[in-house]
Structure 1
Amino acid sequence: MDIAIVTGASSGLGEKYAKLLDGEGLDELWLIARRRPQLEALAEKLQTPCRILPLDLTANASFTALQDTLTKQGKGLTVRYLLHAAGFGKMGPVTSIPPGILENMVDLNDRSAITLTQLLLPYCVPGSHFAFIASCAAFLPIPELAVYAASKAFLLRYCRALAAELAPQGILVSAVCPYWVRDTEFIKTASTTDQKHQFRHYLLAGTKESIARRSFKGIKKGRTVITPDAASTLLRFVSAWIPQDILLYCSRIFR
Structure 2
Amino acid sequence: MNIALVTGASSGLGRAFVEKLSTDPSVEEIWAVARREDRLHQLAQHTSCPVRPIPLDLTCPASLDTLRTLLEQETPTLSVLVCSAGVGTMGPIRDLSCEDAARMIDLNCKAAVAVTSLCLPYLRRGSRVLEICSTAAFQPLPGLGVYAATKAFLQSYTKTLHHELLPAGIHVTAVCPYWIKDTEFIPLAQQGKKSDFKHFPLASRARSVVTLSLWASRWNLWVVTPGIVCTLHRIGAKCIPHGLMVPVTELIRRI
Q: What is the identity percentage for the equivalent residue pairs of Structure 1 and Structure 2? A: 41
Q: What is aligned with 2:242?
A: 244
Q: What is aligned with 1:50?
A: 51
Query: Could you tell me which amino acid in structure 1 is paired with residue 167 of structure 2?
Result: P
CA distance in 1, matches of 2:249, 2:241: 12
Q: Deviations over 1:2-27 (max 9, x none)?
A: 10001111111111110111122212
Q: What is aligned with 1:65?
A: 66
SS in 2 for 1:180: coil
The verdict on how the C-alpha distance between 1:184 and 1:16 changes in structure 2, with shifts beyond 3 A counting, is: same
- Contact 1:3–1:81 at 8 Å: present in 2 too? yes
Per the TM alignment, residue 118 of structure 1 is displaced from its structure 2 partner at its CA by 1.2
Query: Could you tell me which amino acid in structure 2 is paired with residue 235 of structure 1?
Result: H
Query: How many pairs were matched up?
Result: 252
**Which stretches in structure 2 are left out of the alignment for 5+ residues?**
none
Query: Could you tell me which amino acid in structure 2 is paired with residue 200 of structure 1?
Result: K
CA distance in 2, matches of 1:237, 1:243: 12
Per the TM alignment, residue 166 of structure 1 is displaced from its structure 2 partner at its CA by 0.6
Per the TM alignment, residue 254 of structure 1 is displaced from its structure 2 partner at its CA by 4.5
After TM superposition, the structure 1 = structure 2 runs for residues 1-255 of structure 1, keeping only pairs within 5 Å, are 1-25=1-25, 26-74=27-75, 77-192=76-191, 194-195=193-194, 197-252=195-250, 253-254=252-253
CA distance in 2, matches of 1:247, 1:132: 25
SS in 1 for 2:183: coil
TM-score (norm 1): 0.95
- Contact 2:196–2:253 at 8 Å: present in 1 too? no
**Which stretches in structure 1 are left out of the alignment for 5+ residues?**
none
Structure 1 segments (4+ residues) deviating >3 Å? none
**Considering only aligned residues, what root-mean-square deviation do their CA atoms show, in Å?**
1.2
Query: Could you tell me which amino acid in structure 1 is paired with residue 30 of structure 2?
Result: L
Per the TM alignment, residue 201 of structure 1 is displaced from its structure 2 partner at its CA by 0.6
- Contact 1:127–1:170 at 8 Å: present in 2 too? yes
- Contact 2:198–2:253 at 8 Å: present in 1 too? no
